[in-house]
């Protein structure tokens, strides 16, 4: 009887403590929910970043509010994504219609079309075939699988946009995770996070290597030639001569950081390589549906590669978008949506009366991630209209008279901070005019300031909204925000140092 009473008391104590923990967790959540707008109010009423433009301070408050909610996950990330639509009109920074339009940027339709393609790949088991083939090549060590994903992504991202690369490989990488999860005894979540972040980060890093790898590079080329037409010191080869060393060095650093944080002595695959080889053979020949989906997938990749002109220095490749009256009107989203529509039109032999993809399949689309995409564009729009980006960039003028190495370091830090909240193209559009003005004041070679700023605009590894690639992989719910923040902070810091020292040594 006494033992029974003791057991009941212990059980009651556990229940009481459990309820106390739940209450504490709920209270903590409410505190962070209140902290975001409270800090914003403090900034609005007790600081003045720019006496001539109070909107700069107002936008800074909104940004801090969103950061607190993002970092603490006090509310759903999709709810945080709605804050710009609510606050920018209220604060007089932008009207509701203009802010709302940021949530329908063409990149969002690239995301939608790309995921339709991923749904078709998954539906007809093509992703399993791709995953098994990759595993049969790279082996069964978690670190080699991670490296295989990262180097493949990096090489493709040298030539097409980071977002398109991530979309292209997402289904295969996610299939790798699903295929191997059952053979990992513990920490399978860490393996998934490592591969997904490896995909997103290496897509971003790959864009640094060539002038066509990411939009900021192309914008810089155009702006530099317009600002300094008399100088003939920049071409495809010169960029690649510094772009490849920086990006390859940073890729290896990123691999070691991800491997150390997620995999080292934490994850082990209990399976032999021969298993994947046998499993791949058991899949047999490609089905009719697989052939169609694979053909559309490969065509999509080729169209992404060849859409725009590529200047190789010695010769210029002419993109297929010139067949249209307005070539610039056709972007990567056009390719993704065209592929998606074809999937809804091609009939299936296995499922009579249906196409390769039906709308029921498309209902898996994550609309919360679409909202997160839009919030990134809305933030960038608010930064631009309010003058907050200019305020951050203008702070670089204090570097006059400082050693060039420290000037480059300061530039990289400021541009990286901007790129965490604004798109990479918006970041460089804001930074380049300041770099041109700084170059005149500091009497330094233009490339010494402008190239590091361009590289730094592509950094942004901490937040899900920093890049489209980050948003895509974060949408799987396989990555915890605290892990992205910790790893992202380390990579941002290391990326700044790599860019600073290598640009200084190469360009000075």
pLDDT for the residue numbered 273: 67
How much is the pLDDT for 428? Answer: 76
For the record, the structure tokens of 121 come out as 């790949």
CA distance 384 to 390: 8
Q: Tell me, what's the pLDDT at 496? A: 94
Which helix (DSSP H) or strand (DSSP E) does residue 311 occupy? strand 310-311
Identify which of 207, 249, 251 has the alpha carbon closest to the alpha carbon of residue 501: 249
pLDDT at 118: 75
Structure tokens given for 389: 């980006």
Give pLDDT tens digits for 416-444: 887 887 667 767 766 776 777 677 767 77
pLDDT digits (tens, 9 = 90+) for 37-50: 999 999 999 988 88
Supply 75's token pair.
């509310």
Q: What is the pLDDT of residue 497?
A: 95
Burial class (CB in 10 A: 0-12, 13-18, 19+), 482: exposed
The CA-CA-CA angle for residues 156, 159, 160, to 5°, reads 85
Low-confidence spans in the chain with pLDDT less than 50 = 1-8, 10-24
Q: According to the model, what pLDDT value does residue 384 have?
A: 79
Lookup: tokens for 487 = 């790893």
User: In angstroms, rounded to a whole number, what is the distance separating the alpha carbons of residues 330 and 372?
Assistant: 24
Please report the pLDDT score of residue 14 as a whole number. Answer: 36
Note the pLDDT of residue 7: 40
Residue 411 in tokens:
């530039």
Q: How far apart are CA 216 and CA 118, in angstroms?
A: 27
DSSP string, 401-429: TS-HHHHHHHHHHHHHHHHHHS-HHHHHH
* Closest residue by Cα to residue 191 from 268, 274, 271: 268
DSSP string, 75-88: S-HHHHTTHHHHHH
Q: Which residues pair with 311 in a beta bridge?
A: 316
Question: What global pTM score does this model have?
Answer: 0.67
> Which pLDDT belongs to residue 489?
93
């Amino acid at each position: 009887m006494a033992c029974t009473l003791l057991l009941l008391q212990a059980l009651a104590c556990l229940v009481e403590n459990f309820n106390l923990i739940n209450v504490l967790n709920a209270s903590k959540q409410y505190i962070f929910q209140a902290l975001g707008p409270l800090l914003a109010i403090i900034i609005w009423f007790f600081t003045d970043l720019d006496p001539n433009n109070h909107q700069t301070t107002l936008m800074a408050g909104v940004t801090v509010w969103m950061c607190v909610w993002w970092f603490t996950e006090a509310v759903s990330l999709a709810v945080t994504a709605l804050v710009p639509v609510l606050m920018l009109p209220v604060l007089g920074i932008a009207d509701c219609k203009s802010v709302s339009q940021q949530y329908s940027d063409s990149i969002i339709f690239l995301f939608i079309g790309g995921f339709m393609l991923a749904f078709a790949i998954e539906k007809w088991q093509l992703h399993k075939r791709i995953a098994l083939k990759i595993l049969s090549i790279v082996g069964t060590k978690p670190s080699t699988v991670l490296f295989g994903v990262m180097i493949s992504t990096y090489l493709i991202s040298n030539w097409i946009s980071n977002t398109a690369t991530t979309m292209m490989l997402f289904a295969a990488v996610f299939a790798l995770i699903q295929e191997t999860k059952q053979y990992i005894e513990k920490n399978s979540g860490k393996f998934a996070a490592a591969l997904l972040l490896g995909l997103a980060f290496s897509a971003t890093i790959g864009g640094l290597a060539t002038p066509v790898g990411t939009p900021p590079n192309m914008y810089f080329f155009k702006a530099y030639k317009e600002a300094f037409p008399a100088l003939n010191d920049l071409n495809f080869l010169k960029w690649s001569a510094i772009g490849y060393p920086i990006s390859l060095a940073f890729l290896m650093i990123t691999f070691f950081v991800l491997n150390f944080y997620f995999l080292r002595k934490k994850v082990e695959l209990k399976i032999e390589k021969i298993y994947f080889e046998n499993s791949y053979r058991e899949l047999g020949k490609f089905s009719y549906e697989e052939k169609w989906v694979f053909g559309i997938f490969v065509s999509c990749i080729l169209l992404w590669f060849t859409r725009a002109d590529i200047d190789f220095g010695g010769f210029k490749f002419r993109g297929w978008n010139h067949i249209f009256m307005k070539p610039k009107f056709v972007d990567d989203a056009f390719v993704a949506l065209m592929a998606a529509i074809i999937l809804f039109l091609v009939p299936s032999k296995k499922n009579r009366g249906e196409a390769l993809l039906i709308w029921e399949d498309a209902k898996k689309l994550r609309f919360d991630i679409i909202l997160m995409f839009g919030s990134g564009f809305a933030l960038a729009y608010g930064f631009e209209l309010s003058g907050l980006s200019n305020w951050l960039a203008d702070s670089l003028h204090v570097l006059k008279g400082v050693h060039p190495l420290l000037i480059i370091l300061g530039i990289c830090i400021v541009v990286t901070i901007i790129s965490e909240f604004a798109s990479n193209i918006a970041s460089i559009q804001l930074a380049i005019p300041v770099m041109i003005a700084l170059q005149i004041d500091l009497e330094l070679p233009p490339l010494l300031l402008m190239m590091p700023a361009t590289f730094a605009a592509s950094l942004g590894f901490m937040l899900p909204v920093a890049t489209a690639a980050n948003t895509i992989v974060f949408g799987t719910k396989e990555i915890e925000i605290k892990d992205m923040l910790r790893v992202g902070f380390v990579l941002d810091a290391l990326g700044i140092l790599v860019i600073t020292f290598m640009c200084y040594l190469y360009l000075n």
